[in-house]
């Protein structure tokens, strides 16, 4: 079983990829989407979104990262894919699932699921542009307004030459509201001859096991679930390994050094105005799994002075059990 780390625009960027892959259990990452329009992106712009390109395409923990492209111009997508391949990306992923209105208005993301022929054209152009040894994959939702074309869209992506397809088991209209329709992922899996990865509403080991059973997929992509519980991939991997006792997960005390490292990276790599907000954003997810994160979020909610945030974190580290 492979466990993939999902891209999450504005949240699961290179900073959090670094931290979550240090915790362990993740086999591969996908970058936040790189928006491709009519203007070719320079290398510096690609490095800003995916700095792992400067380090062999891997996170500091050694986990490979695959660049994800979003757009509807097949030629520009192909040119950018070729550049990313030359820079060291571990393959190219194509975004056919983003539900954001601004993206959809410009014909990108999930909007492309209304036009299977365009899906094939984009995938084929990227496949031709990328060296044969590098995989081209895609991520799609079940559809735009409904899931009536789900299998047709998946077949169009496979026809274009993709070797792997991640399916977020909801339509664009569903947004992120539960449930995830894992049974429809199974329909897609049976309709194509390429690898299919299930994604959506995997918050626990039990969710992962149920998703695999219903979808028929061996491989899974984790998103919000692993942001809320950084030990989720480790727990799933251990539960899937016969003869190995399941790990209890990552405790708050074990997570604190990672939160501290996250803050150091945020302060080093992100714009000053975004730093406090990024920590609060992660704590907001962590409180779904850790009661201590609820208290931390409450204490820091009104704090925007970076020095005070740093002092608070230092105090938490000093108070943590040895």
Distance separating alpha carbons of residues 267 and 148, to the nearest angstrom: 46
Q: Is 98 a known active-site residue?
A: yes
Q: How far is CA 307 from CA 23, 121, 163, 310, in A?
A: 26, 51, 48, 5
Phi, psi (deg, nearest 5) at residue 2: -105, 135
- Three-state SS at 77: helix
Can you list the positions of beta strands (E) in 20-175?
Answer: 28-35, 65-70, 92-96, 136-141, 164-168
The helix or strand, by DSSP H or E, that contains position 222, with its residue range, turns out to be strand 220-222
Return d(Cα 249, Cα 242) in angstroms, integer. Answer: 17
CA distance 7 to 212: 20
* Kind of pairing between the strands at 3-5 and 136-141: unpaired
Catalytic residue among 98, 153, 211, 217: 98
Query: Residue 241 CB: number of other CB atoms within 10 A?
Result: 11
Catalytic residues: 98
């Amino acid at each position: 079983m492979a466990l993939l780390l999902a891209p999450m625009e504005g949240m699961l960027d290179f900073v959090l990829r670094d931290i979550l892959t240090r915790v362990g259990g993740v086999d591969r990452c996908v970058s936040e989407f790189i928006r491709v329009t009519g203007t070719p992106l320079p290398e510096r712009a690609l490095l800003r979104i995916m700095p792992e390109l400067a380090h062999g395409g891997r996170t500091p923990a050694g986990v490979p990262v695959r660049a994800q492209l979003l757009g509807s111009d097949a030629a520009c997508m192909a040119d950018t894919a070729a550049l990313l391949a030359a820079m060291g990306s571990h393959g190219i992923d194509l975004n056919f699932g983003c539900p954001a209105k601004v993206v959809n208005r410009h014909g990108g993301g999930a909007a492309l699921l209304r036009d299977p022929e365009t899906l094939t054209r984009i995938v084929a152009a990227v496949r031709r542009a990328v060296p044969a040894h590098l995989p081209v994959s895609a991520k799609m939702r079940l559809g735009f307004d409904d899931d009536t074309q789900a299998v047709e869209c998946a077949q169009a992506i496979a026809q274009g030459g993709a070797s792997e397809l991640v399916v977020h088991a909801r339509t664009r209209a569903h947004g992120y509201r539960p449930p995830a329709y894992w049974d429809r992922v199974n329909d897609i899996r049976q309709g194509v001859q390429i690898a299919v990865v299930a994604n959506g509403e995997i918050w626990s080991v039990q969710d992962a096991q149920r998703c695999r059973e219903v979808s028929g997929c061996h491989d899974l992509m984790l998103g919000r679930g692993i942001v809320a519980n950084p030990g989720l991939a480790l727990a799933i991997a251990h539960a899937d390994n016969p003869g190995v006792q399941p790990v209890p997960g990552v405790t708050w005390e074990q997570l604190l050094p990672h939160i501290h490292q996250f803050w150091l990276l945020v302060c080093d790599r992100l714009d000053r105005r975004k730093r406090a907000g990024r920590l609060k954003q992660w704590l907001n997810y962590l409180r779904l799994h850790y009661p201590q994160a609820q208290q931390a979020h409450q204490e820091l909610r009104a704090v925007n002075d970076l020095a005070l945030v740093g002092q608070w974190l230092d105090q938490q580290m000093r108070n943590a059990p040895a």
